[in-house]
Amino acid sequence: MRIDCKGLYYRKQNKMIRDFANDGETEFILDNANGQRYIGGGIEKKIKITVNGVPGNDLAMFMNGPTIIVNANAQDGVANTMNAGEVIVHGSAGDVLGYGMRGGKLYIKGNVGYRTGIHAKEYKKQVPVIIAGGIAGDFCGEYMAGGILVLLGLNRDEGTPIAGDYLGTGMHGGVIYLRGGVDESRIGAEVSVLEPDAKDMKLLKKYLAEFCGHFGFDLEEVMSEPFVKLLPVSSRPYGDLYAY
Amino acid sequence: MNSELPPEFIVKVDYDRCRRCRRCVMNCSFGCMTFKDRVVPEHRRCVACQRCVTYCPEYAITVSKNELAYKENENWSPEIRKNILKQAETGGMLLTGMGNPREYPILWDHLLIDACQVTNPSIDPLREPMELRTFLGRKPERLEFSMDEAGEIDLVTEIEPQVRLDVPVVFGAMSYGAVSLNVHRSLAMAASRSGTLMNTGEGGLHRELYPYSGNIIVQVASGRFGVHSEYLNTSAMVEIKIGQGAKPGIGGHLPGEKVGEDISKTRMIPVGTDALSPAPHHDIYSIEDLSQLIFAIKEATDYEKPVSVKISAVHNVAAIASGIVRAGADVVTIDGFRGGTGATPMVIRDNVGIPIELALAAVDERLREEGIRNNASILCAGGIRSSGDVAKAIALGADAAVIGTAALVALGCRICQKCYTGNCAWGIATQKPELVRRLNPQIGADRLTNLLAAWSLELKEILGSLGVNSIESLRGSRERLRGVGLDSQTLELLGVKPAGVGQ
Ligand code: SF4
Ligand code: SF4
């Protein structure tokens, strides 16, 4: 079903989506979206939501299953504490993306803001994947406890770093892949830079094929540059701070 | 480095009485007792948890303070010197458990409750109805009714979700991880029998407890452990944890060795990894951001559950609470500096925060002044020890009181403050199966239910003597309190008159 979101209050809009989804509707197209918060929030059904326009903060928060496609930029807090599902943003997105995200995929064509993937975690088969085609702000992957975070840094100006300062600071689980290397002065004390092995590349290829499929990038070209991987030095970075 | 720490306690075994059953050896989880021909205590390991003393069939064991371990000095207390020695040996922050034990004033003990004499009769609660029931949630400013042609009256005002409490005492947030599953089981069963609530803390909710959803507050903390939409909906209320009285402004840290299979499942993190809760929620940097999270939770629970925000009592608590209420919270939980914890740096526990009595009075006053007191209920936590404290808290403005440590004491806790070691001899703050087994959840639930039943009886007596018949009539009734031994500024902050002054 199509919903014209022009001037529509988020509460009403989201209630419509929830109610119709409960009645069996599986496809929603939101036209003229303009800052409505919490789209897809807490929904457990495998519905598909296409957002034409810019959704508001906390898109897909607590989401557990749906697929959301945004045909514009997205704001802060996308995929906050998300459990499962997929969010595909055909643009850039704001700060604190994938906070505490525990599963599902977040694919962003362009750049991402501060604190992307903060405290993402994984549990058994539930491994969150965040890929951004562009560059990231400071504190990317901060406190990461699990999951896969990939920055591609495509189409950036010469000399622009792929991520801001404190990359991976406090990280104690999961993995970050960066296309084309990293300036080691920018990374947090809790991570080390390694070369990806064949297994890593296989994994990357799988997700990047999906990513390129969504946004029309050339997979071979994306894979042509070498990647580096960041891993936490310890799963217990703060284990020896205390006197017992 | 060899330790130069003198033992804190001396364990004496009366060998005339001892029958060498070795029960103390099996019971000591700190490895203090060994058996070599006879029971030999290693004093240095003793934490005075009283397990062996309680379980020795011959009462042959006494534990006493090692009096002259440190030569007397009013300024350089044994505690201070012990801490310096420990830090000189390890270079680490001192970790501790439970609430602030230091000699700050306990204002509850300087407040006294009024009673009726002659001119307004008291009520006998044994024969007359007494209402302890109360409801948590946002209350409307006014009620509107309509009347149809037949004269039927209907309520027009939409009432926001409310949670019913049959007794104005709820169990405080203690995570599965900090405490054992048997503690959670005991709390959940007791809450459901007593018509009140338990609180998951920040470690998620074990599947086994899902049937108790009507009596559970589920917490959302900065680590978001075990938080998903089903969890949020398996609750009577959702609480956003901003702060904790024992560690204001500090994050949490469950060491990897406590993250076994079951905890890993509940927190949804791999076995053996540290569970780190960052100090702030990284999606909250302002009241507007807090509001965003409150409404994210309301969206995910279809506006069916009240949302609480828990903060620790700090200097600016009244203004913060006002912001929280304006942000859309239905309940504000304030946790005073005596509030307990499974683990916190000692320097924070002992030096940060303010007493709950002052924080509560300030928050209630501020919300009234601003005309928004009805918009949220107030839960008062951190240092509630008895029904007397509960009554005083309600008179100071709380809707209900929260007990954590008191509940653990009912379950066997001896306040030895070693919760952070994971060796709790009473099966409370531990995940070791052989220790967890020591707490039988059925018996635990009975003990907690008894405690609440006893406090209910006492609260009714207090209400009766005050000449009122419901807890609602006591709420915010500071005129029924008097202060003793308090300076005028404290009295003013508490909004109570000194004892001896009439109306
Ligand atoms: S429990 Fe008591 S009687 Fe048994 S060995 Fe220990 S001290 Fe002796
Ligand atoms: S919970 Fe256990 S370890 Fe903690 S203070 Fe009580 S008895 Fe001691």
User: To the nearest 5 percent, what fractions of chain A are helix, strand and coil?
Assistant: 15, 30, 55
**Of the partner residues B94, B224, B283, the one whose CB lies closest to the CB of residue A77:** B283
3-state per-residue secondary structure call for A99-142: CCCCCCEEEECCCECCCCCCCCCCECCECCEEEECCCECCCCCC
pLDDT at A182: 85
| Residues B393-410 pLDDT 10s | 999 999 999 999 999 999
Distance B339 CA to ligand 2 centre (A): 14
Assembly ipTM: 0.93
- pLDDT, residue A239, reads 67
B145: β partners? B155
Phi and psi at residue B347, in whole multiples of 5°?
-65, -30
Cα distance between residue A175 and residue A149, in whole Å: 6
Q: How far apart are CA B2 and CA B12, in angstroms?
A: 25
Q: How far is A148 from chain B (nearest CA, A)?
A: 15
Asked if the model's pLDDT at residue A211 lies above 80, the reply is: yes
**Mean pLDDT, range B455-482, rounded to an integer:** 96
Mean pLDDT of B153-162: 95
Q: Which helix (H) or strand (E) holds B473?
A: helix B471-474
The stretch B26-45 carries a mean pLDDT of 95
Ligand nearest to the CA of B425: 2
Provide mean pLDDT across the span B269-282.
86
| pLDDT level of residue B350 (50, 70, 90 thresholds) | very high
Nearest to A133 by CA among A171, A93, A184, A181: A93
**Window from B130-134, B262-266, B433-437 with minimum mean pLDDT:** B262-266
Interface of A with B in 168-227 (CB under 8 A): 170, 172-173
**Is A11–B299 a contact, with Cβ atoms under 8 angstroms apart?**
yes
* CB burial readout B417-448, b (16+ within 10 A) else e: bbbbbbbbbbbbbbbbeebbebbebeebbbbb
Q: Tell me which residue has its CA closest to atom 8 in ligand 1.
A: B18
What residue ranges do the domains of chain B occupy?
Answer: 9-92, 164-458+478-498
DSSP A187: B
pTM of the model: 0.94
Distance between B19 CA and the closest CA of chain A, angstroms? 34
B253 contacts in chain A (CB < 8 Å): 238
Report CB contact under 8 Å: A243, B89: yes
Dihedral angle sign, alpha carbons of residues B231, B232, B237, B239 = positive
* B232-241: average pLDDT: 97
Q: Do B229 and A43 touch (CB under 8 A)?
A: yes
For B259-273, B441-455, B487-501, which range has the lowest pLDDT when averaged over its residues? B259-273
User: Looking at residues A71-95, what average pLDDT do you find?
Assistant: 97
CB contact under 8 A, A81 and B264: no
CB atoms within 10 A of CB B3: 10
pLDDT at A8: 95
* pLDDT for the residue numbered A142: 93
Per-residue pLDDT, B88 = 94
pLDDT at residue A236, rounded to an integer? 72
With bands split at pLDDT 50, 70 and 90, how would you rate the model's confidence at B493?
Answer: very high
Report whether CATH 2.160.20.60 matches the domain A92-242.
yes
pLDDT band at A162 (very low <50, low <70, confident <90, very high): very high
Of the pLDDT bands very low, low, confident and very high (cuts 50, 70, 90), residue B208 is very high
Measured between alpha carbons, how far is A94 from A37 in angstroms, rounded to an integer?
14
- What number does CATH give the domain B164-458+478-498? 3.20.20.70
Question: Which chain A residue has the Cα nearest residue B272?
Answer: A235
Q: According to the per-residue pLDDT averaged within each range, which of A124-128, B190-194, B248-252 is highest?
A: B190-194
B87 touches chain A (CB under 8 A): yes
In angstroms, the CA B428 to CA B436 distance is 7
Mean pLDDT in residue range B425-433: 96
Examine the pLDDT at A221 and tell me if it is beyond 90: yes
Alpha carbon of B317: minimum distance to chain A alpha carbons (Å): 27
Closest residue in B to A61 (Cα–Cα): B296
Residue-wise pLDDT for B283-326, tens only, equals 899 999 999 999 999 999 999 999 999 999 999 999 999 999 99
Please tell me the distance between residue B370's alpha carbon and the centre of ligand 2 in angstroms: 42
Task: Write out pLDDT tens, residues B78-99.
Answer: 999 999 999 999 999 999 999 9
Residue A237 has pLDDT above 80, yes or no: no
Q: What pLDDT was estimated at residue A244?
A: 63
**Atom 8 of ligand 2 has which residue's CA nearest to it?**
B416
Q: Are the beta carbons of B426 and B388 closer than 8 angstroms?
A: no
pLDDT for the residue B3: 81
CA A91 → CA A69, A97, B163, B333, distances in Å? 11, 14, 43, 40
Residues with CB under 6 A from ligand 1: B 13, 18-24, 39, 56-58, 60-61
pLDDT band per the 50, 70, 90 thresholds, residue B131:
very high
On average, the pLDDT of chain B sits at 95
Distance B416 CA to ligand 2 centre (A): 5
The pLDDT tens digits of the residues spanning A8-61 come to 999 999 999 999 999 999 999 999 999 999 999 999 999 999 999 999 999 999
- d(CA B44, CA B55) in angstroms, rounded, equals 20
Q: What is the mean pLDDT of residues B206-233?
A: 96
SS3 A56: coil
In ligand 2, the atom with minimum distance to the C-alpha of B417 is: 5
- Does B454 have pLDDT greater than 90? yes
User: Residue B443: CA atoms inside 13 Å, Cβ hemisphere, count?
Assistant: 7
Q: Which atom of ligand 1 is nearest to the CA of B61?
A: 7
Determine contact: A45 vs chain B, CB below 8 A: no
Q: Which residues of B touch A244 (CB under 8 A)?
A: 90, 92, 95, 420-421
| CA B36 / ligand 1 centre spacing (Å) | 13
Burial of residue B270 (number of CB atoms within 10 Å: 0-12, 13-18, 19+): middle
A150 pLDDT more than 70: yes
**Looking at the DSSP assignment, which residues form a beta bridge with residue A75?**
none
According to the model, what pLDDT value does residue A82 have? 96
Asked if the model's pLDDT at residue B253 lies above 90, the reply is no
pLDDT, mean of residues B425-443 = 96
Non-local CB neighbours of B478 within 8 Å, separated by 6+ positions: B361, B395, B396, B397, B494, B495, B496
- pLDDT tens, position by position, B23-34: 999 999 999 999
Residues with CB under 6 A from ligand 2: B 49, 97-98, 408, 413-419, 424, 426, 428-429
Which residue minimizes the CA distance to atom 4 of ligand 2?
B419
Please report where in the chains the tokens 């599963």 appear, as a residue: A103
DSSP letters spanning B356-392: HHHHHHHHHHHHHHTT-GGGSEEEEESS--SHHHHHH
Interface contact B270, partner A, CB < 8 A: yes
Cβ-in-10-Å burial (0-12, 13-18, 19+) of A159 comes to exposed
Pairing of strands A173-179, A145-151: parallel
And the tokens for A57?
Answer: 């903060």
Tell me the torsion sign for CA atoms B276, B282, B285, B289: negative
Q: Is the pLDDT of residue B255 over 90?
A: no
Nearest partner of A81 among A40, A112, A111, judged by Cα: A40
Q: Which helix (H) or strand (E) holds B500?
A: none
* Candidates 3.90.1150.10, 3.40.50.2300, 3.30.70.20, 3.40.50.150; CATH matching B9-92: 3.30.70.20
3-class state of residue B111 by DSSP: strand
Nearest ligand for residue B62 CA = 1
